[in-house]
Structure 1
Amino acid sequence: MVDTPAFGIHTIDTGFHRPAFDACYLVVENGRGAFIDTGTTHSLPRLLAAVEAAGLQRSAVDWVIVTHVHLDHAGGAGALMQALPDAKLLAHPRGARHMIEPLALLNGARAVYGAQEVTRAYGEVVPVPAGRVVESHDGMVVELAGRPLVLIDTPGHARHHHCIWDERSRGFFTGDTFGLSYREFDTAQGPWLLPTTTPVQFEPEALKHSVQRMLGYHPERLYLTHYGCVEGVPRLGEMMLAQVDEIVALGERLRPLPAAERHPALMAGLAALYTARLQRLGSTVPRDDALALLAMDLELNAQGIGIWLDRAR
């Protein structure tokens, strides 16, 4: 699915996991293109169809920018680069090497999901030739046919994470730093947003600093990977920061428990936090349906909080 673009920004549903779950973006300016995030290798036909639908030749795509190297964001980068002969891949300096040699990245995913699930969900992860990889730096400006895209270092979800500021749209491409917002939960009050604390580099103070830094740009919209463009950013920023504090308080309360007891307690605590937020927002999604939609997030966020607690200890 490709949406009707505003500001030359095409939202592409990568098809990962379920509809309207995982997005990447094609930014088009004066006949040139840049992808931001890629989805998985299975997403490749949708991404190439978006290039064609935008009226571009594949040789007109100058950049493939991955916000970070988690496989739902960057797993398809190598395959996409093979199809885009003139593009450069731009990655955070902590993540660039994993685009060139993805074995450690794959082994990390296998440790979380299992080898069979990684193969099923992500397909073959193709290395990117080192000569086509560019490392970002904080404050770096990429010019897309005269349109500046500014990269800022945004740790907290992952240390290898940067976000991209686009002055034209007054929007940030946020990867996972500014959380997740699934369209099923939208209400008359607006979208709901939750932090993602998936393994293994959740760092709450760094995450809050990154969010506050992004809010300092006074963005009018956020282009989330999970999922799509959302507005009303000041409200979402307050919601995001408050929930990080709630998560920290939950983790600290459960810290003394043995790991085998702590994980289910974390999942139950997160479920209670999420459903309370949804109720206050006026969500009409039944509780069981909401928890089913959030099942993967509950599991992975609890894992990530547990790793943070153990590391802090």
Structure 2
Amino acid sequence: MAIGDVYEVTVGSCTDVHYVDTGMYDVPEYGSVYVVDAERPAVVDTGIGARHENIVAAMESVGIAPEDLEVIAVTHVHLDHAGGAGYLAEACPNATVYVHEIGSRHLVDPERLWEGTKYAVGDQIQYYGEPKPVPEARIEELTDGDVIDLGDHELRALHAPGHAPHQVVFHDPAIDGVFTADAAGIYTPSTDEVHVTTPPINFTLEGALDDVAMIRDLDPETLLYGHYGPALAGDKLETYAEILPEWVDSVAQKREELGDDEAVVDHFVERADAGLWGERKGRAEARLNVRGVLVALDNREE
């Protein structure tokens, strides 16, 4: 697997779906964007703005010209999923951008989101590319249960606010699959492992576990992870429901032991797994996840 490579999804009952390794953070096997070669062609998520050209190239490799794309379906407005929305809308003039109603204003005017992202991710911001606004007339707002009709496929939007209040997952019954956004964690196909994702500022453990339970109730055959790639569901949702509270408990215990949040962050950063995406990204991921749990713990106490 390499940055920019495009793969057909052959897992489970999936048909007409491809994904591209966007090369997010200059590492492979972290960011994926899906291309659905349906009667109404669609992409699910857009990745960061700096990598939008990889998505256009992926579409063209599947046989979808930019002017033929009809749907840009955004799972949530965090810039690792929606940072390329404005770029892609510009490149694909006939596409409508679908996003949860809570997040739509951030696509129309992304300045506040850009500033918040810079604060949250620190020096990782160099990889992003400042987002471009999406014209308001090009946006269709979604609420829980709305369906994006793709003809021979459909994307059923299900609100999944445990990771962010503007997050949805998309269920496509035609492939018995769910595009999971960040609601089912992070998956690494090279190790067949599920990892936590708990960034600030909106993560809540209770909400995240509710989202996992919601996806489990759908009983999908296939999970299509935003990070990273497709996988048979198997016991992955059950595993995530186990490791997520264990992770939160470990951060809470270390905070009680050390009594200093920066020391807690340093503790986990020093022990970050450098084997998955390299030392720099591994440490940055750990820092983000710890800070998200610390914020959630503070909010729980209020």
* TM norm. shorter chain > 0.5: yes
Aligned equivalent of 1:172: 178
- Give yes or no for the alignment of 1:193 onto 2:203: no
Deviating more after overlay: 259-268 vs 166-175: 259-268
| Aligned positions of 1:91-110 closer than 5 A | 91-110=99-118
Q: Distance in 2 between matches of 1:299 and 1:97?
A: 28
Q: Deviations over 1:149-200 (max 9, x none)?
A: 1010011111110000011111110111100012332xxxxx2102200111
Q: Which whole-Å CA distance do the structure 2 matches of 1:266 and 1:57 have between them?
A: 45
Indicate the residue corresponding to 2:28 in structure 1.
19
Give, in angstroms, the shift of residue 56 of structure 1.
Answer: 2.1
Structure 2 Cα separation of the partners of residues 196 and 8 of structure 1:
28
Shift of 1:62: 1.1
Q: CA deviation at 1:148?
A: 1.9
Instruction: Give yes or no for contact 2:274–2:283 (8 Å, CA) kept in 1.
Output: no
Q: Which residue number in structure 2 is paired with residue 305 of structure 1?
A: 293
1:216 aligns with 2:222: no
Residue of 78, 83, 91 corresponding to 1:83: 91
CA distance in 1, matches of 2:47, 2:293: 24
1:83-113 CA-partner distances (Å, limit 9, x unpaired): 1111111111111110000011011111123
Give the Cα separation in 2 of the matches to 1:254 and 1:142. Answer: 44
Instruction: Tell me the residue number matched to 2:37.
Output: 28
Q: Which segments of 5 or more consecutive residues in structure 1 lack a partner in the other structure?
A: 186-190, 272-286
Q: Which amino acid aligns with 2:176?
A: R
Q: 1:299 is matched by which residue type in structure 2?
A: R
- Give the whole-Å Cα distance in 2 for the aligned partners of 1:183 and 1:215: 20
* Partner-residue secondary structure (3-state), 1:135: strand
- For the residue of structure 2 that corresponds to 1:113, the secondary structure is helix
Structure 2: how far apart are the matches of 1:249 and 1:124? 35
2: CA distance, partners of 1:199 / 1:263: 13
Per the alignment, residue 289 of structure 1 pairs with 275
Which residue does 1:113 correspond to in 2? 121
* Number of residue pairs matched by the alignment: 288
Distance (whole Å) between structure 2 residues aligned to residue 266 and residue 312 of structure 1: 21
State the shift of 1:206 in Å. Answer: 0.7
- Which one-letter code corresponds to 2:200 in the other structure? P
1:36-75: per-residue Cα shift (whole Å, max 9, x none)?
0111122222111122222223222111011111111110
Matched, 1:2 2:3: no
Offset from partner CA, 1:193-221 (integer Å, 9 cap, x none): 02200111110111111111111111111
CA distance in 1, matches of 2:91, 2:145: 29
> Are the equivalent residues in 2 in contact too, given 1:23–1:225 (CA < 8 A)?
yes
Q: Distance in 2 between matches of 1:58 and 1:288?
A: 37
Q: Find the aligned partners of 2:124 and 2:207 in 1 and give their Cα distance.
A: 31
Mark the CA change 1:13 to 1:58 in structure 2 (over 3 Å): closer, same or farther: same
Distance 2:255 2:275 in 1: 29
Which residue is equivalent to 1:163?
Answer: 169
* 2:264 paired residue number: 262
Distance 1:264 1:139, change over 3 A: same
Q: Tell me if the contact between 1:174 and 1:224 (Cα under 8 Å) persists in the aligned partners.
A: yes
Q: Tell me how far apart the structure 2 counterparts of residues 289 and 194 of structure 1 sit (CA, whole Å).
A: 13
- Sort the Cα spacing of 1:154 and 1:75 in 2 relative to 1 into closer, same or farther, 3 A: same
The amino acid of 2:261's aligned partner reads: A
Q: 1:210-241: per-residue Cα shift (whole Å, max 9, x none)?
A: 1111111111111111110011x241111100
- Determine if contact 1:263/1:306 at 8 Å carries over to the other structure: no
Counterpart residue number, 1:183: 189
Give the Å deviation of 1:306.
Answer: 1.2
Q: Is the 8 A contact 1:254 1:266 kept in 2?
A: no
Are 1:204 and 2:205 matched, yes or no?
Answer: yes
Query: Is contact 1:250-1:266 (8 Å) kept?
Result: no
Alignment of 1:20-59 (within 5 A): 20-30=29-39, 32-59=40-67
What's the RMSD between the two structures over aligned residues? 1.9
1:209 and 1:124 mapped to 2: Cα distance? 33
Write out per-residue CA displacement over residues 251-280 of structure 1, whole angstroms, 9 at most, x where no aligned residue: 332343222333234546x85xxxxxxxxx
Q: Give, as a single letter, the amino acid of the residue that structure 1 aligns with 2:64.
A: L
Distance across 2 between alignment mates of 1:262 and 1:20: 28
How far apart, in 2, do the equivalents of 1:248 and 1:53 lie?
42
Give how far 1:24 is off: 0.4
Q: Which amino acid aligns with 1:2?
A: V
| 1:121-160 equivalent positions in 2, closer than 5 A | 121-160=127-166
**Aligned AA for 2:275?**
D
